[in-house]
Amino acid sequence: MHISTVYIRFFRSFNFDYLRKAHIDFAPDPWDALGTEGLQYPFVRVPLEDGVTTVVGANESGKSQLLSAVKHALTGDGIERG
């Protein structure tokens, strides 16, 4: 299995994609809707590239949260809707 993109929303330091939502040409994906009220909270899209083996960043920049999100995407463990 090859995962090319991880979609993250409301997970630890990943809230939602503020910049994408604020863009004038914003077109929500069907899964960006939250509830029946028509609220749009676009997922943060993190592309994964072949050969990338290291995540580098400053302290508290979200490296561990990113790796945890990838782990949860692969295993499904600990994912609860709330």
Query: Could you read off the pLDDT of 2-57 as tens digits, one per residue?
Result: 778 888 888 877 888 999 999 999 998 888 888 778 789 998 888 888 888 888 88
CA dihedral (46, 27, 36, 19) positive or negative: positive
Q: What angle do CA 38, 39, 42 make, to 5 degrees?
A: 120
pLDDT greater than 70 at residue 81: no
Of 61, 72, 51, 56, the closest CA to residue 4 belongs to 51
Q: What's the pLDDT score for residue 12?
A: 79
- SS3 at position 46: strand
C-beta separation of 76 from 32 below 8 A: no
Q: What's the pLDDT score for residue 19?
A: 92
